[in-house]
Amino acid sequence: MTEIRSPLPGVFYAKPGPDKPPFAAPGERIHVGDAVGIIEVMKQFTEIRSDVEGVVTSVPVADGASVMPGDVLVTIEES
């Protein structure tokens, strides 16, 4: 099990826009380099990408929630 953690504090966005599907949803296959979310810090947006391939098992942070460095954003079962 791999945990993708927040590298910085900010607001986590699980979707690229309000009417868009999430970057990563439980049960979905993720590939190396796929975006799993965005963190906004003072109007600057940082895309968070996976460095492993596998299936998303959870996205424990709600869309629009505040995160701190080290918070788990997505868990992936590697394959």
Q: Say which amino acid occupies 2.
A: T
Task: List the chain pLDDT tens, one digit each, 79 residues.
Answer: 899 999 999 999 999 988 999 999 999 999 999 999 999 999 999 999 999 999 999 999 999 999 999 999 999 999 8
- What would the pLDDT profile of 14-32 be if each residue is shown by its tens digit? 999 889 999 999 999 999 9
Count of helices and strands (H, E) across the chain: 0, 8
Query: Is the distance from CB of 36 to CB of 26 less than 8 angstroms?
Result: no
Cα 9 to chain centroid distance, Å, stands at 13
The answer to whether the pTM exceeds 0.85 is: yes
Query: Is residue 6 exposed (0-12), middle (13-18) or buried (19+ Cβ within 10 Å)?
Result: buried
What is the set of domains in the chain, with CATH numbers?
Answer: 2-78 (2.40.50.100)
Instruction: Give the integer Cα–Cα distance in Å for 1 and 18.
Output: 29
**pLDDT on residue 79:** 84
